[in-house]
Amino acid sequence: TEHLLSVILFNCLSLYPISEVQQDCASPPVVKNGAVLGPVLASYKSGSWVEYVCQHYHFLDGPSTVYCHQGNWTEQPTCLEPCTLNVTDMDSNNLTLKWRREELVFLHGDLIEFECKQGYSFLQTAIPSPGRTQCDQGRLNYPKCPSLEK
């Protein structure tokens, strides 16, 4: 009986191979302009998770919670860069900000509304808000205000 039992036990074990073994994860991946909340460990158990945050003014895109799953981390978020208004570019396009504000930094996805300086006007009058533009991962298309006089 003892022999039979050990044969059954052996068969049971071989029925469940490595998939039952919990694989640890290494340290979570580095995210540019982001960080993991709390201390970063060298090893994580399968099923554990970490929280990512982005640096100031950076927009967190994707899941902030990332899980260790059998040795792999699930998809990480990205930290999208903000837009900083360039006064030189605004001047050369004859623009001012529609709404006064202290900070010249806008988050990814923010809408920025410009006006033309006095004596200038937007060309595209068909567009409802020609002075409006959106911050796209640090890139900004400045509207143009050519002179009214020709």
List interacting residues with ligand NAG (CB under 6 A).
Answer: 69-72, 86, 88-89, 93-94, 144-147
CB of 132 to ligand NAG, least distance (A): 17
CB of 79 to ligand NAG, least distance (A): 20
- Which helix H or strand E contains 72, and what residues bound it? strand 72-73
- Which position has the token pair 């001047």? 91
d(CA 103, CA 16): 60
Q: Of 71 and 138, which CB lies nearer to ligand NAG in the complex structure?
A: 71
d(CA 105, CA 56): 11
CB of 88 to ligand NAG, least distance (A): 4
d(CA 54, CA 79): 6
Q: Of 62 and 146, which CB lies nearer to ligand NAG in the complex structure?
A: 146
Q: Of 7 and 71, which CB lies nearer to ligand NAG in the complex structure?
A: 71
